[in-house]
Every structure is written in C-alpha cells, then in structure tokens.
Structure 1
C-alpha cells in the first residue's frame, strides 16, 4: 500500500510539473463588463469566508441569448491542480447552465446580462478553503473565460504594515510589506515548509509576490520583515473618468459624439514620470457600473466607445503601450493596446465600455514581455495602494493547502 501511495504521488508530481500554474483565460470581444465579487465586498478579487456568497455578472454583446455553463476547480497554493475530488470540496454539483439572465432595455448596444450566485440550489456549498477557479463554457463546451477566487477559514490573525523601501536605491519609489502571522487555533509545525504567503497589491494577481518563508518565529508567531523580497513599486494614483450621463461631457471627458453608439473622447494624458507626486483619490484600479435616470443599471446602462490618448515620448518608442485597469482584469492584449498616431504624436486606443466610473493608467511591455507599470505614471512611495496578504497552511500529511487567514491595509499611513 505504501508503495502504491508513493507511486501515485510521483505520478501526481510529474503531472503538476507538466501542467504548471493555471492562468486565467480572458474573454473574447463579445463578453464585456465582468464583475466578480463576494456578497460583502466590492473587490474584483473575491476572497470569501466559508459560507459566504460569490457573485459573477457579465454581458454578452452578440444578442444571441446564448447559454453559458460553469465549472469549479480547486487548486493548491501555487495554482497547480489539487488532488481533491469534487465531492471533497463541493456539496452538490456544477457544470450547470447559468439560468439568471436578462436582455438590455432602451440601449443602443444590445446585450444579455448574466448573473451567477454561488452557493445556489445545485451548487449548495464550497466545503474547504483554498484557491478556486470559476470556468465559464459555451454550448460547445468551449472555455469562454475563467476567474480565480479564494475561500478562507479565518483561523489566523494577519498583521500587515507598509513601510518605505529598506533598499535606499528605491527609497522614494517602492513600498515594502511587513507581515506578522499568529493563530490561537493552529499550532504551526515546521512553518518554513507548511506556511505560505501571497501578497497582492490593488487586487492585481499578475504582480503578486509569493513563496516567502517566515524570517523569524517567536513561539507561534511568524514574522516577515524582508529588505527587498516584499517590495512593490509604488506606482501612482490611477487616472479616472465617469460617463454615467452618456449624453453629456462629465469628469475628464472632453467631448461626445453619437454614431451607431456614443463615443466619449477623454482629455489627452501626458506622462507623469519624473514629475512631482500629486495626491489624487482613486479606487485603486477598480470600476463601478452606474448610470443616471435608470431603474436597473445592470440592463439599462449603455455602452460607449471610450477614446484614450497619451502624448508620446522617446522613452516609449521601443515598447508596447496599454490602457490598464481592473476593467479588463489587468490584461495586456489586443483589446487595450494603444497605437501610435504620427499626425498628433499620441498613442491612441478605443475601448468599448459600459457606463460607469473607471480607474485606469498606462503601462508598457518591452520586447522581453516585462511589464513596466511606472514607465508612464512614475513610481512614488507616497502613492495610496491597497495590500492584501493571504496565508496558506498545509499540515504535515495534509492533502491540500488551507487558506487560514487574510490581512488587509493601505499605504496611506506609510512609515519609515
């Protein structure tokens, strides 16, 4: 029996090595405005406590009233496949059609609005904590898009504080995260092997830091006070616009035209790199769907082509420039790439967005695929950012990584 268990473990390890970390799949062009959150949070990165609800909403702009289906998968801390069977992490069953949808009303852009809530009558509960992926499929069992979420047990206390970088080279550009983990419910055995942490800035998993081990252990208290390893670029406050009144110029909208759909032209932005930091309240890259004079925003808010423009400079000429934010899950692809216009010496992009309040900024990607969040916006230690620290624990002999606690803070009170 022991030999069989060892053999299966080797096979599993090899399979995970081949599969690697699972990545979110971004949707095709006709799927828009994916909002994904818990019932008690406005965050676009749902981190639920066991028993809480998960809510996914999105629009399909093809006008076909297409059927969509959902499946749920459980993953380890590092987003490799979990060994748990569905019956072990879920009560009920998935692979069900999303039944709650409505068609748009009184809008230029026709769309169907879908809403999925978990738990529901068929997927009655998620039974264990950890990492999950929600996959959305069409009638042909083709994956349309996927989103990550986490479920925690609230078994540990996670203290988080934000400091200026301890590396004097980046003293004015980076922010460092200090962590203290304690638990009255779990006795940490061999914490350097059994405890894992994930640090997320502004709900952006693409720039998250993971794989850190506690530096010090005081009884059952784990302390992380790294010099470089927990440092993030400070970035800058997000830019924003609001088009809740789609027929009139509003915050940061220069003028409006109506063709087949409304076109909102934003004021041209300039690079903020190497300029003095200026505080500008934002919602850390998030977005909120809102519209004036409607009763039901989900189906009565219209879509508009939003035109972004950025004054070009020589530092960007060998890089791709993108419009960046939670509205497209911080992706850098053809849907939000900017194109250079030689006549106006600007980078330009047109993105179809639902009415609302949006945060965005401009980022670059170089020839090696390296993301430059500060190439246009600059990096400043004073920037107000949101930080979440997730703590996972897999006891000796356990079969999956439990998410035992979460800590959250902002850098508004950053200290030396």
Structure 2
C-alpha cells in the first residue's frame, strides 16, 4: 500500500517538472529579414488590440520555393503553456501552409518572400487576449523559427511616466518607469496577486522587467513608484545607416563594391561611453526595408554584405576592449547575441570588424559587450539619462477562478520628456 502511495505522489508531481518557459527559436542562415508587425510600418514586437491584424514576413534565400506552415499557441504571463485548448483561443485552424509568397525581382541575391496575415481565411480570429507564440515549420515538420506576440484588451487606463533615478550613483545613467493603472468599470480582486506587469524598453523582451507588484492601492487605482526595481539603463542613441540605393553612397556608407553581391563598407565607429551625450534621432533599434527605385521593396530590395567596424585604439581603450566579446545589436536579428553577430578583433589595425548579409533599408544598431554571459549594453555606447527611449507597459490580470492570464491594458511612454 505504501508503494502505491509513493507512485501516486510521483505521478501527480512529475509533470510539473516538465513545465518551462518557452523561448523564441532563431532561424537558420538561409532565413533572413523576419519582420513581425501590427498596424505600423516598422518591424517590432507585435502588441495588438484584440480583433486587429498582424503581419509576419520573411525571406528564404535558398531559392527552393519551399512550403512553410505556421502554428499558434497560447501562454500564461510567465510564458509557460496555458491550459486552454486551441478551440478556446482560436476561431478556425492553424497548422496551415503560408500561401502568400513571391520570388525576388531584379536582384543579385535570389530569394522567396513569404507573407502571413492573421486573421485570414483559415485562422479567422484569435478569441482571447494574452501571450502567444507563432512557430514556422517546413515540409518535414521541422521547426524553422518562432516569435512571440501579445494581444490586449482595452479595459484599463495605464499611465506611464519616465523619471530620472533617485539613486545618486545612477542619476546620470538610468531611467525609471512610474506606472498608474486605473479602471472605472473593472474591479481588481487581490491586485498584489492577480495583477502582473511587464515593462519593455524599445520593444526588446530580453531586457524587460516583469511582475512588479503595486505599492499603493487607492480605490480602484494601482500605483507603482519603484526606483531600482523599475529602472533601466538609459543607453545611448542607436547608430544607423541607410543603403536604399546600393550603387551610391548613402547615410553612414563610405565605400561600395560589387563582387558576387554588393558590399557596403560603413564608416568606422568609435566608443561613446567616455564622451558627452549628443542627441541623434533614431528609431530605437528598429529597421525598415526600403529601395529608392522600387514599387515593392519586399521583393525588389536586394541583399548586401554590410561591413561594420569599431575602432579600439591601443593607446586609449585597445587593451581593455580587445579582450572583450563584442556583438552588433539591434532588432534586425531580434536582439540576438550569438556567433552570427560576434565581431573579430584585428590586432594590426586595432579595429573590430564584422560583415552581415542584410536587406536594403534603414537600420539601427549598436555595439554591446558580453561578459561571462551577461550583456553590457553601455560598455561601448555609454549610459545617459537623456537618451530617448520608448517604454511599453503590459498589464495582465487573472481573476478568481479564471483559467488564463488576460492582458487588460497597454500603456506607452517616452523618455524625451524625462523629469525629476
């Protein structure tokens, strides 16, 4: 009898060990320019209102015109799988072939451009708010890549204001986010347990701050005025280049060469951490595919080898930087830090170099340092409280007896009007 009880305990609790947070899967080398967006032109983290559409686009550079399929899954606030079955969060079907694709036109690099719009004839609508993951598979049912997105309901007002840090050690380097959540029609039951928040800087989930609890409750108003817990490094404005005309020098491009494909050599960048802050408008790490002569840049924009370089003079920071692991960082690759973005140090010229195959357009990027697995975004660019950053606050709520985490509100703020 005792043995049976032990077996029952193991059976009941073992499945919980298998539950883990889902992570996005990055694509193989032949999949490029993944653009996932809502009703805006820029590629970004899609946070769309329930009932609105979103678009996923990508290029396959292998020239095989392969078939790709998509699946959509619903997740809890902490990105563990929700218990909802597919019919509860989706009207229609997924696991469908992406039918909208075109081949490139008048380009040196041959590619097929795929476009998926949701909702569509097969996936008619997503019925509930919350966290979602879309996964793309090939003909062999192998996962090619996946991307997160969120759907919200407009049930609360989310006020977001950006302040300087109260900590004098970081007052020149950090920005903190104050939040006020209120609703006239929706009561918050046990808000410290049932209301959860996610603060996102520049659409980058990798650096997001999650699950702050309200410090004060006044009627049906939740107030968050943390200092260190809701503070982000200010960073610096992104560097940028534009190569919408690959045959002529554009912004940030110093030299052009044509081999098998066009090569664009950017001006060599220098470290900015030791220099005063200078306002330089950017698009907060984003990118936009453009072509000066194209009616449809999606299939007419070509791929270019873009050569990046970062100066590390020996007599200044060369000895400090040459032993660092430096990466090129931006939304063009979903803020991924791996071997594909790692720069190589040239000891003879005291410069870090890297070439990336990118589609024509306007790109934001910066250089970041990876120290023992920890990302340091300000080691080269610096951290300044004046930096213009975009912040989004996503509010989750699970009422008593509910089976999933709703997103009941979205707030947005910008540090351009930062105050004390």
Q: Place the TM-score, normalised by the shorter chain, in its bin.
A: over 0.9
2:44 aligned with 1:44: yes
Residue aligned with 2:18, SS: helix
2:410 aligned with 1:406: yes
Matches within 5 A, 1:6-25: 15=15, 17-25=17-25
In structure 1, the residue matched to 2:152 is: 152
Q: Would the aligned equivalents of 1:16 and 1:81 in 2 still touch at CA under 8 Å?
A: no
2:83 aligned with 1:78: no
In structure 1, the residue matched to 2:392 is: 388
Matches within 5 A, 1:214-253: 214-253=214-253
Tell me by how many angstroms 1:43 deviates: 4.9
Q: Deviations over 1:103-130 (max 9, x none)?
A: 0010000000000000000000000000
Tell me by how many angstroms 1:320 deviates: 1.1
TM-score when normalising by structure 2? 0.95
In structure 2, the residue matched to 1:69 is: 69
Work out the CA distance in 1 between the residues paired with 2:19 and 2:350: 44
Matches within 5 A, 1:141-180: 141-180=141-180
Q: Would the aligned equivalents of 2:42 and 2:287 in 1 still touch at CA under 8 Å?
A: no
Unaligned runs of at least 5 residues, structure 2: 1-7, 313-317
Q: Deviations over 1:210-264 (max 9, x none)?
A: 0210000001100000020000000000000000001011101010000000000
Work out the CA distance in 1 between the residues paired with 2:19 and 2:416: 40
Residue aligned with 1:335, SS: helix
Work out the CA distance in 2 between the residues paired with 1:48 and 1:17: 32
Q: Would the aligned equivalents of 1:323 and 1:337 in 2 still touch at CA under 8 Å?
A: yes
Residue aligned with 1:52, SS: coil
Q: Deviations over 1:311-367 (max 9, x none)?
A: 122332333100000000000011111011112111111000000000000001112
Alpha-carbon spacing, 1:194–1:309, altered in 2? closer, same or farther (3 Å)? same
Alpha-carbon spacing, 1:351–1:142, altered in 2? closer, same or farther (3 Å)? same
Work out the CA distance in 2 between the residues paired with 1:206 and 1:406: 19
Work out the CA distance in 1 between the residues paired with 2:341 and 2:400: 45
In structure 1, the residue matched to 2:98 is: 98
> Quick one: which of 332, 348, 356 aligns to 1:351?
356
Q: Would the aligned equivalents of 1:57 and 1:114 in 2 still touch at CA under 8 Å?
A: yes
In structure 2, the residue matched to 1:376 is: 380
Q: Would the aligned equivalents of 1:267 and 1:309 in 2 still touch at CA under 8 Å?
A: yes
Tell me by how many angstroms 1:16 deviates: 5.1
Aligned length: 409
Residue aligned with 1:108, SS: coil
Q: Deviations over 1:186-215 (max 9, x none)?
A: 100000000000000000000000021000
Tell me by how many angstroms 1:42 deviates: 3.2
Work out the CA distance in 1 between the residues paired with 2:106 and 2:303: 11
> Quick one: which of 312, 318, 324 aligns to 2:329?
324
Work out the CA distance in 2 between the residues paired with 1:408 and 1:336: 30
Residue aligned with 1:246, SS: coil
Unaligned runs of at least 5 residues, structure 1: 1-7
Alpha-carbon spacing, 1:131–1:414, altered in 2? closer, same or farther (3 Å)? same
In structure 2, the residue matched to 1:202 is: 202
Residue aligned with 1:170, SS: coil
Work out the CA distance in 1 between the residues paired with 2:386 and 2:163: 10
Work out the CA distance in 2 between the residues paired with 1:41 and 1:306: 23
Q: Deviations over 1:45-72 (max 9, x none)?
A: 1011111001000000000001100000
In structure 1, the residue matched to 2:58 is: 58
